[in-house]
């Protein structure tokens, strides 16, 4: 199987063994590593082996494989570092703070009070507006 590759992408270089990493796991479609800029102890990344800039470009097989590997890595991280919880985070585009344009997910161990900026307050939305938007989104599926 030939997967797309970008010679200038740091994650592609890691997958090919051309750049160093703290490798955790590898299969045909995924490659898991420790994040070298960790938010919390145990922060890991699951990379698609194929180069896709984001979720929208990734193949369904790659998305499924990354999700399966993220589940496996999350279980191992939870066992190793005993966090209070784990976020599985996937960012698409600059507005979502995606820093490397290569499809990947973060396995992010959380500690109560760690002050991660991923949380938001639960504030009820306008149900009429939500219903209209839901109809618009359903029509696009």
Instruction: Supply the pLDDT for residue 93.
Output: 92
pLDDT tens, residue by residue, 68-81:
999 999 999 999 99
pLDDT in tens, 87-133: 999 999 989 989 999 999 999 999 999 988 876 677 888 899 988 98
pTM attached to this predicted model: 0.90
Specify whether the CB–CB gap between 90 and 106 falls below 8 A: yes
Active site amino acids: 104
Q: Which domains does the chain possess?
A: 10-139 (3.30.428.10)
pLDDT at residue 140, rounded to an integer:
92
**CA–CA distance, 123 with 96 (Å, rounded to integer):** 21
Give the contacts of 72 (CB within 8 A, at least 6 positions apart): 25
Q: Which pLDDT score, from 0 to 100, does residue 10 have?
A: 97
């Amino acid at each position: 199987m030939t997967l797309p590759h970008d010679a200038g992408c740091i994650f592609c270089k890691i997958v090919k063994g051309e750049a160093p990493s703290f490798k955790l796991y590898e299969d045909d479609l995924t490659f898991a590593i420790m994040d070298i800029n960790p938010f919390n102890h145990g922060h890991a990344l699951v990379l698609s082996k194929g180069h896709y800039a984001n979720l929208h470009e990734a193949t369904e097989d790659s998305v499924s494989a990354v999700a399966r590997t993220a589940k496996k890595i999350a279980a191992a991280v939870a066992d190793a570092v005993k966090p209070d919880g784990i976020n599985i985070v996937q960012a698409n585009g600059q507005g979502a703070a995606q820093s490397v344009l290569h499809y990947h997910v973060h396995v992010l161990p959380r500690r109560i009070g760690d002050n991660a900026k991923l949380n938001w307050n639960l504030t009820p939305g306008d149900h009429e507006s939500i219903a209209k938007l839901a109809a618009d989104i359903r029509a696009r599926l």
